[in-house]
């Protein structure tokens, strides 16, 4: 068959990356050619236009219509991305938006467990123990709920990237392309970001990041595509330092720097990482031990360590602006410092220079690591296990990269003690996971 041809496809599974799986030419559900499609749900029969038939192992397609719909199908949370829009005109970023919210979470947990089994080599019981929860509500000092997830999973994005094309169109990119799709709503964004997005006409071509920190005021940061329009460093709005808040604690962050995207995410992860630390060190962290916050950003998890008794903390982060902010954010712990380095190099350096006393301190300490989507990778994991910390808390935003790293940890004797997913990206396939490991 050729690209452009139309087929009927029974969708049997969900795969990593927000795509769904069916097979054609299969007998009794076995064999046949795998077809990956977006916008479907397992159990459905859909009409698919083949969009890429070049590979022998699998083809790709686009869903044009649903002939037998799942009971979990809903009108898309983002009308611009629904099936009545041509596939090439559907904006990206809400690839589970056509699925009832609790079923989205079941599918995400299935993808996480499948990755742990296939790439992490974990047994059925350990895999089944992995959980996924919605973002927990945030409570104030006297226990009252001050912020919670919306019932329909919308209105959470405090950070959104839009694009301006050469014709002045403003909007997100289409799914799987770099074509700007003008839209009249951004339902996953906070109300403030949505309002700010209505004011962007007349901007020069390039990327626009809309950022709403804790003060509620939305910053619009132009990320010039060409160096000519790049603002000077001192006037760069991306470098304005804003304040984010987790409970009573404030964090300085560059407006254009990394901060968790969901308005409840930093508090949710602080809570889950805190639980993991308390599991590993039920009586509180050893103040004489050396604790590490790897891929530390502005020190969110260094503070989680400090809040639970750590005194000697090193936060390692490659972005010097983030470590500048981290230094201030963790200044109240006199033994804490932020270092600008790549984690792989920092660990290699540490392993080659550590004294017996350094090693003894790390062996009693906890390491939190929160790598980017590609995961920590074998080299970093092997360097980390060579340092032999008492416990590890791994915060992951990609289940397959996580599972591969877990496999490396397990080969060195570190076993996952708990695996807790949290849905910090409703209506998209993304999932955040916190894993507690120890020997
Ligand atoms: C997922 S973010 C986590 C940041 C922080 N833990 C937080 O939650 O706010 C990953 C961070 O790792 C940093 N990073 C990426 N690659 C790195 C590397 N090889 N070494 C050190 N830091 C890195 C990025 O700049 C980013 O701040």
What's 358's domain CATH number?
A: 3.40.50.150
In a domain, residue 153? The reply is no
Atom of ligand 1 nearest to the CA of 342: 20
Do 127 and 73 share a structural domain? no
> Is residue 334 helix, strand or coil?
coil
CATH number at 32 reads 2.40.50.140
- Ligand 1 pocket, Cβ-based, cut-off 6 angstroms: 258-260, 295-297, 300-301, 316-319, 322, 342-343, 370, 372
In a domain, residue 149? The reply is no
Write down the residue that tokens 């260094």 correspond to: 302
State which of 242, 318, 342, 396 you would mutate to test the pocket of ligand 1, scoring each by most atoms of that ligand within 8 A of its C-beta: 318
Question: Using CA atoms, how far apart are residues 281 and 364, in angstroms rounded to an integer?
Answer: 10
Query: What's the gap in Å between 318 CA and the centre of ligand 1?
Result: 7
Do 409 and 306 share a structural domain? yes
Do 321 and 285 share a structural domain? yes
Do 179 and 127 share a structural domain? no
In a domain, residue 245? The reply is no
Question: Using CA atoms, how far apart are residues 316 and 369, in angstroms rounded to an integer?
Answer: 9
Q: What is the reported pLDDT for 50?
A: 97
Do 279 and 207 share a structural domain? no
Question: Using CA atoms, how far apart are residues 363 and 269, in angstroms rounded to an integer?
Answer: 24
Binding site as annotated, residues for S-adenosyl-L-methionine: 260, 295, 317, 370
State which of 264, 274, 324, 371 you would mutate to test the pocket of ligand 1, scoring each by most atoms of that ligand within 8 A of its C-beta: 371
Do 170 and 27 share a structural domain? no
Q: Which residues of 297-330 are buried (b: 16+ CB within 10 A; e: fewer)?
A: bbbbbbbbbbbbebbbbbbbbbbebbbbbbbebb
pLDDT digit of tens for each residue in the chain (439 aa)? Answer: 889 999 999 999 999 999 999 999 877 666 789 999 999 999 999 999 999 999 989 999 999 999 999 999 999 999 999 999 999 999 999 999 999 999 999 999 999 999 999 999 999 999 999 999 999 999 998 899 999 999 999 999 999 999 999 999 999 999 989 999 999 999 999 999 999 999 999 999 999 999 999 999 999 999 865 444 555 555 688 789 999 999 999 999 999 999 999 999 999 999 999 999 999 999 999 999 999 999 999 999 999 999 999 999 999 999 999 999 999 999 999 999 999 999 999 999 999 999 999 999 999 999 999 999 999 999 999 999 999 999 999 999 999 999 999 999 999 999 999 999 999 999 999 999 999 999 9
Atom of ligand 1 nearest to the CA of 316: 21
Atom 2 (ligand 1): residue with closest C-alpha? Answer: 372
Q: Which of 270, 359, 252 is nearest to 307 (CA)?
A: 270
Whether the Cβ atoms of residue 26 and residue 32 lie closer than 8 Å to each other: yes
Q: What is the reported pLDDT for 141?
A: 87
Atom 4 (ligand 1): residue with closest C-alpha? Answer: 297
Atom of ligand 1 nearest to the CA of 293: 6
In a domain, residue 100? The reply is no
Question: Using CA atoms, how far apart are residues 332 and 297, in angstroms rounded to an integer?
Answer: 17
Q: How many domains does the chain have?
A: 3
Query: What's the gap in Å between 298 CA and the centre of ligand 1?
Result: 9
In a domain, residue 195? The reply is yes
In a domain, residue 43? The reply is yes
Atom of ligand 1 nearest to the CA of 266: 8
Active site annotation includes 408: no
In a domain, residue 271? The reply is yes
Do 408 and 300 share a structural domain? yes
Question: Using CA atoms, how far apart are residues 44 and 183, in angstroms rounded to an integer?
Answer: 28
Q: How close are the terminal C-alpha atoms of the chain, in Å?
A: 52
Neighbours of 127 (CB within 10 A): 19
In a domain, residue 150? The reply is no
Identified catalytic residue from 94, 397, 424, 437: 397
Range of the domain at 348: 119-142+262-438
Neighbours of 232 (CB within 10 A): 6
Do 200 and 64 share a structural domain? no
> CA-CA distances (angstroms) from residue 396 to 10, 334, 420?
32, 29, 10
Atom 7 (ligand 1): residue with closest C-alpha? Answer: 297
Do 423 and 316 share a structural domain? yes
* Residues paired with 242 in a beta bridge: 253
Question: Using CA atoms, how far apart are residues 81 and 265, in angstroms rounded to an integer?
Answer: 25
ipTM of the complex: 0.99
Q: Pairing mode, if any, of strands 33-37 and 58-68?
A: parallel
Query: What's the gap in Å between 32 CA and the centre of ligand 1?
Result: 41
State which of 246, 349, 372 you would mutate to test the pocket of ligand 1, scoring each by most atoms of that ligand within 8 A of its C-beta: 372
Query: What's the gap in Å between 398 CA and the centre of ligand 1?
Result: 14
Do 311 and 172 share a structural domain? no
Do 328 and 207 share a structural domain? no
> Is residue 322 helix, strand or coil?
helix
Query: What's the gap in Å between 26 CA and the centre of ligand 1?
Result: 43
Do 125 and 219 share a structural domain? no
- CA 115 vs. chain centroid, Å, equals 16
- CA 232 vs. chain centroid, Å, equals 30
> CA-CA distances (angstroms) from residue 331 to 260, 289, 311, 396?
21, 18, 11, 26
Query: What's the gap in Å between 142 CA and the centre of ligand 1?
Result: 33
Domain finish residue from 240, 274, 297:
240
């Amino acid at each position: 068959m050729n690209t452009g041809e139309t087929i009927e496809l029974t969708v049997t599974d969900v795969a990593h990356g927000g795509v769904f799986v069916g097979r054609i030419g299969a007998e009794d559900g076995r064999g046949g050619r795998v077809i990956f499609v977006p916008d479907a749900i397992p159990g459905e029969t859909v009409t698919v236009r083949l969009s890429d038939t070049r590979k022998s192992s699998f083809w790709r397609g686009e869903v044009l219509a649903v002939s037998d719909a799942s009971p979990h199908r809903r009108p898309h949370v983002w009308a611009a991305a629904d099936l009545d829009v041509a596939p090439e005109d559907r904006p990206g970023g809400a690839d589970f938006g056509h699925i009832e919210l609790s079923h989205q979470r079941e599918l995400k947990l299935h993808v996480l467990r499948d990755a742990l089994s296939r790439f992490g080599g974990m047994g059925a019981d350990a895999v089944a123990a992995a959980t996924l929860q919605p973002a927990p509500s945030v409570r104030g000092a006297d226990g009252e709920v001050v912020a919670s997830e919306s019932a329909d999973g919308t209105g959470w994005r405090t950070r959104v990237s839009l694009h301006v094309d050469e014709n002045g169109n403003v909007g997100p990119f289409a799914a799987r392309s770099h074509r700007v799709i003008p839209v009249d709503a951004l339902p996953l964004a906070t109300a403030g970001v949505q309002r700010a997005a209505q004011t962007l006409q007349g901007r020069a071509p390039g990327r626009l990041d809309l950022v709403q920190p804790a003060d509620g005021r939305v910053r619009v940061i132009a990320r010039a595509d060409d160096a000519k329009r790049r603002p000077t460093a001192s006037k760069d709005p991306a470098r304005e330092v804003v304040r984010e808040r987790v409970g009573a604690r404030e964090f300085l962050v560059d407006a254009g720097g990394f901060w968790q995207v969901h308005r409840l995410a930093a508090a949710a992860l602080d809570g889950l990482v805190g639980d993991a630390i308390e599991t590993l060190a039920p009586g509180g962290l050893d103040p004489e031990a050396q604790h590490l916050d790897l891929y530390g950003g502005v020190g969110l998890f260094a503070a989680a360590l400090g809040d639970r008794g750590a005194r000697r903390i090193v936060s390692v982060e490659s972005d010097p602006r983030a470590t500048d902010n981290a230094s201030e954010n963790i200044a109240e712990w006199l033994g804490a410092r932020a270092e600008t380095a790549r984690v792989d190099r920092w660990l290699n350096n540490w392993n080659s220079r550590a004294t017996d006393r350094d090693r003894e301190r790390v062996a009693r300490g906890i390491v939190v690591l929160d790598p980017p989507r590609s995961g920590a990778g074998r080299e970093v994991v092997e360097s980390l296990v060579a340092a032999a910390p008492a416990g590890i808390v791994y915060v992951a935003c990609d289940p397959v990269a996580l599972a591969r790293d877990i496999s490396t940890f397990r080969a060195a004797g570190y076993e996952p003690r708990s695996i807790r997913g949290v849905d910090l990206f409703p209506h998209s396939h993304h999932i955040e996971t916190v894993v507690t490991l120890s020997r």
